[in-house]
Amino acid sequence: MTSRLILACCALTLALAAVPASATPPLPGERIAGGVTAAGVDLAGLTVDEAAQRLQGSFGPRLGEDVIAQAADITFTLKAADATVTFDTDASAKRALYAGRTAAGAPVDVPLAVSHDQAAVTKFADAIHKRLVRPARDAKLIIKLKKVRATHSKPGRDVDAAALAKQIGASLDDPRLTRVFKPKLVAVKPKVTPATLRNTTVITITQSTFTLRLFKHLKVRKTYKVAVGQPAYPTPRGRFAIQDKQVNPTWSVPNSPWAGELAGTTVTGGSAANPLKARWMGIANGVGIHGTGEDGSIGSRASHGCIRMHVKDVIDLFPRVPVGTPVLIG
């Protein structure tokens, strides 16, 4: 009989095995009715004392056995004493007697009066989980000014500690169930793989050479010459991302002395007074990539922090760069 069927049988016979609150105590010399078993052991014709002795001989040593769990070449042991396994042979025998009284000759199998500390079992299963669980490792994008690569991902593994604790608990109460377990190691897939990252668009800007590089599929697809911030208004360094994109952007003029009479005003997109020509790709804190009408400034430190491009170049770059694109400025 399989473990699942045994558990099902125990569940079906539990109602018959329950001791009635008003049950008459065993009578002198009373014997258990025919067809009555306890965990499969025939007790028919035995007194309660005889049945208790038979059950002790049949299951006592078995119920005192340790639980063994084996996985990933590691063996874990839970001692029956640590799980506080107790076997009441007298109560088990009485269950059989009372069940026989009401079975009217029909076969009936009663569960043993066995108990254990499930909290100790849960602690044991959790310890196995802690030892065996290994989170998946996601691939990461490594961005340098001249090179972009993806690290390797690695699958992880997990163990269903709750299911294991339930199985172990059942085995402690039923000697017919195995006490040797091989918990299934469940593979955990990484959420991010190198294949996922290969589709990432990346921009890097090398201020020392005034070079903007566009990476697609981890390779440089195109380079552009740019202008960067003046020493007094430096372009920030670090890793950022494209926050927004605009065609013929409106210029919200900073309230700064260098803006002159336009300070604090708004200049419409496409206006001759608007230095943000053709396209805008915002990065952070008012800094962005945009076209410029001052082509002679390209290749120099000329802006107030933004990255300037030739108009034809910024128009070419714009559709290639989605919002969220990582930007490394160095």
**Lowest-pLDDT choice from 81-90, 96-105, 198-207:** 96-105
Pairing state between β 86-87 and 114-115:
antiparallel
**137-159 confidence digits (pLDDT tens):** 999 999 999 999 999 999 999 99
CB atoms within 10 A of CB 210: 20
Task: Judge whether residue 10 has pLDDT over 60.
Answer: no
Specify the higher pLDDT residue, 270 or 327: 327
Q: What local confidence, expressed as pLDDT, does residue 237 receive?
A: 97
Could you tell me if 212 and 204 are in contact, meaning their C-beta atoms sit under 8 angstroms apart?
A: yes
Q: What local confidence, expressed as pLDDT, does residue 302 receive?
A: 95
Could you tell me if 189 and 139 are in contact, meaning their C-beta atoms sit under 8 angstroms apart?
A: no
Task: Judge whether residue 113 has pLDDT over 70.
Answer: yes
And the tokens for 306?
Answer: 């933004």
Pairing state between β 202-206 and 326-329:
parallel
Q: Percentage of the chain with pLDDT > 90? A: 82
Can you say whether residue 72 is alpha, beta or left, with left for phi > 0 and alpha for psi between -120 and 50 degrees?
left
**Lowest-pLDDT choice from 98-102, 255-259, 318-322:** 255-259
**266-319 confidence digits (pLDDT tens):** 777 778 878 889 999 999 988 999 999 999 999 999 999 999 999 999 999 999
Task: Judge whether residue 12 has pLDDT over 50.
Answer: no
Specify the higher pLDDT residue, 203 or 9: 203
Alpha-carbon span 80 to 171, nearest angstrom: 11
Confidence band for 15, pLDDT divided at 50, 70 and 90: very low
Confirm whether 290 is a catalytic residue: yes
Query: Three-state SS across the chain?
Result: CCHHHHHHHHHHHHHHHCCCCCCCCCCCCCCCCCCEEECCEECCCCCHHHHHHHHHHHHHHHHCCCEEEEECCEEEEECCCCCCCEECHHHHHHHHHHHHHHHCCCCEEECCCEECCHHHHHHHHHHHHHHHCECCECCCEEECCCCEEECCCECEEECCHHHHHHHHHHHHHCCCCCCEECCCCEEECCCCCHHHHCCCCEEEEECCCCEEEEEECCEEEEEEEEEEECCCCCCCCEEEECCEEEECCCEECCCCHHHHHHCCCEECCCCCCCCCEEEEEEEECCEEEEEECCHHHCCCEEECCCEEEEHHHHHHHHHHCCCCCEEEEC
**192-243 confidence digits (pLDDT tens):** 999 999 999 999 999 999 999 999 999 999 999 999 999 999 999 999 999 9
Complete domains list, the chain, with CATH: 3-188 (no CATH), 202-329 (2.40.440.10)
Confirm whether 217 is a catalytic residue: no
Please tell me the total number of residues recorded for the chain in this structure: 330
CB atoms within 10 A of CB 143: 18
Alpha-carbon span 233 to 71, nearest angstrom: 61
Active-site hit among 10, 116, 290, 310: 290
Upper half-sphere CA count for residue 267 (Cβ side, 13 Å)? 17
Q: What local confidence, expressed as pLDDT, does residue 7 receive?
A: 35
Confidence band for 9, pLDDT divided at 50, 70 and 90: very low
Confidence band for 6, pLDDT divided at 50, 70 and 90: very low
Alpha-carbon span 76 to 90, nearest angstrom: 33
Q: What local confidence, expressed as pLDDT, does residue 261 receive?
A: 59
Could you tell me if 203 and 226 are in contact, meaning their C-beta atoms sit under 8 angstroms apart?
A: no
Side chain identity at 292, as an amino acid letter? T
Comparing C-alpha atoms, which of 154, 150, 158 is closest to residue 131? 158
Active-site hit among 10, 116, 306, 310: 306
